[in-house]
A and B are shown apart, each in its own frame.
Chain A
Amino acid sequence: MKWWKYLAAALLLYVAVAGVLLPVPRRNILNETIRNLYFHVPMWFALTVVLAVSVGYAVAHLRTGKLLYDVWANEAAKVATLFGVLGILTGSLWARYTWGTWWTDDVRLNGAARALLVYGAYFVLRASLPDPQQRGRIAAVYNIFAFAAALSLLYVKPRLNDSLHPGAGGNPAFSKYDLDNAMRLVFYPAVIGWILVGAWLTQLGARLTLLRNQLDEQESA
């Protein structure tokens, strides 16, 4: 096992313990849920990085035609979707006990849900094409558009509208939280840890798919 996987495990273990025990600013309504910053927000950071990796492999596939890159792009998109689902679920639970509702008609929330649907269509599209070369090319082109859509849905549109969510309505994400230095001590390791876990899961998925493809070839030969 590579060193960065140990680093990922160590960082997340640190976050699990320090995130619950280290002191945080006292805020009305938020109370201790301010600690969710350590668990909810890194999902979206990791999602963004993994999506960038996915679109990077999509471009690499278009340039070289290598099916290996298409496999990696697909696996990265899967992991990003996992992070997106977890981000939405954790955000919804957090909203229930701070805003008083599981979901509101909010640009930030709906944008995140739409971004996930865009990637849902990516998987449907990719799975519906039987020819590997054609599948790779069309999926890669769609991936590029999906990435652009996701970035604008997640990071541009919420800032142009009013929203309950921090990081929208023109506000930088952490101004309301007063992300102080004590919180940075946990928050940044959490972000790095989840990005590494994203890389880890992507790599495992790709290795598995490549092995399965090899076996398929051997069996059909």
Chain B
Amino acid sequence: MNRNLPKPAPLLRRLPLLLLPLALFAACSVLAQAPGAASAAAPPAVEMADSLRADGKIWVVAGVFAIVMLGMLVYLLRLESKVGKLEKRMRNEE
């Protein structure tokens, strides 16, 4: 029965995919902090994203992104449970 199950991809093959977000995050962080990227006003003493969150409505973007991700995850979880039920039926047949 095990022969039907797909082999897990070796870690080495998955590694580039795992490293990708890290590399992207680093690249974008550098870009965002480049001179002139977002420094119209004089920076306050300790610069945090406070004003960004208060007036910039970035949290609306976070909400939109969360909705999209939640929707896709719910769809995936439903597929997952359907696959699980099928697998159970398969086992009962054998």
Is B77 part of the contact surface with A, judged by Cβ < 8 Å?
Answer: no
Is A22 part of the contact surface with B, judged by Cβ < 8 Å?
Answer: yes
Chain A residues lying within 8 Å of B5, measured Cβ to Cβ, are none
Task: Report whether B21 and A32 are in contact in the complex, using a CB–CB cutoff of 8 Å.
Answer: no
Chain B residues lying within 8 Å of A208, measured Cβ to Cβ, are 79, 82-83, 86
Q: Can you name the residue of chain A whose Cβ is closest to the Cβ of B79?
A: A204
Is A9 part of the contact surface with B, judged by Cβ < 8 Å?
Answer: yes
Known: A32-B52, A208-B83, A215-B86. A17 touches B64 (CB 8 A): no
Task: Report whether B72 and A197 are in contact in the complex, using a CB–CB cutoff of 8 Å.
Answer: yes
| Interface secondary structure of B, over-half rule | helix
- The answer for the CA separation of A30 and B31 in the assembled complex, in Å, is 22
Q: Mark B17-35, 1 if CB is under 8 A from A, else 0.
A: 1001100110011011000
Interface residue ranges of B45-94 to A (CB < 8 Å) = 52, 55-58, 60-61, 63-65, 67-68, 71-72, 75-76, 79, 82-83, 86, 89-90, 93
Is A1 part of the contact surface with B, judged by Cβ < 8 Å?
Answer: yes
- The answer for the CA separation of A31 and B38 in the assembled complex, in Å, is 13
Known: A22-B28, A82-B71, A85-B71. A32 touches B57 (CB 8 A): yes
Q: Mark A180-221, 1 if CB is under 8 A from B, else 0.
A: 000000000000000001000100110010011001001100
Is B9 part of the contact surface with A, judged by Cβ < 8 Å?
Answer: yes
Q: Can you name the residue of chain A whose Cβ is closest to the Cβ of B61?
A: A35
Task: Report whether A32 and B17 are in contact in the complex, using a CB–CB cutoff of 8 Å.
Answer: no
Chain A residues lying within 8 Å of B79, measured Cβ to Cβ, are 201, 204-205, 208
Task: Report whether A94 and B60 are in contact in the complex, using a CB–CB cutoff of 8 Å.
Answer: yes
Is A36 part of the contact surface with B, judged by Cβ < 8 Å?
Answer: yes
Chain B residues lying within 8 Å of A31, measured Cβ to Cβ, are 55-58
Determine which of B17, B24, B56, B64 lies in contact with A18 in the assembled complex, contact meaning CB atoms within 8 Å: B24
- The answer for the CA separation of A205 and B76 in the assembled complex, in Å, is 10
Is A13 part of the contact surface with B, judged by Cβ < 8 Å?
Answer: yes
Chain A residues lying within 8 Å of B63, measured Cβ to Cβ, are 93
- Of the A-B pairs whose beta carbons lie under 8 Å apart in the complex, a sample of 10, sorted by A's number, is A10-B20, A22-B28, A23-B32, A31-B55, A31-B56, A32-B60, A93-B63, A93-B64, A97-B60, A197-B72
Give chain B's interface residues, CB within 8 Å of chain A.
9, 17, 20-21, 24-25, 28-29, 31-32, 37-38, 52, 55-58, 60-61, 63-65, 67-68, 71-72, 75-76, 79, 82-83, 86, 89-90, 93
Instruction: Rank and list the top 10 A-B pairs by shortest CB-CB distance, nearest first.
Output: A21-B28, A32-B58, A32-B56, A86-B71, A90-B64, A31-B57, A17-B24, A35-B61, A33-B60, A33-B57
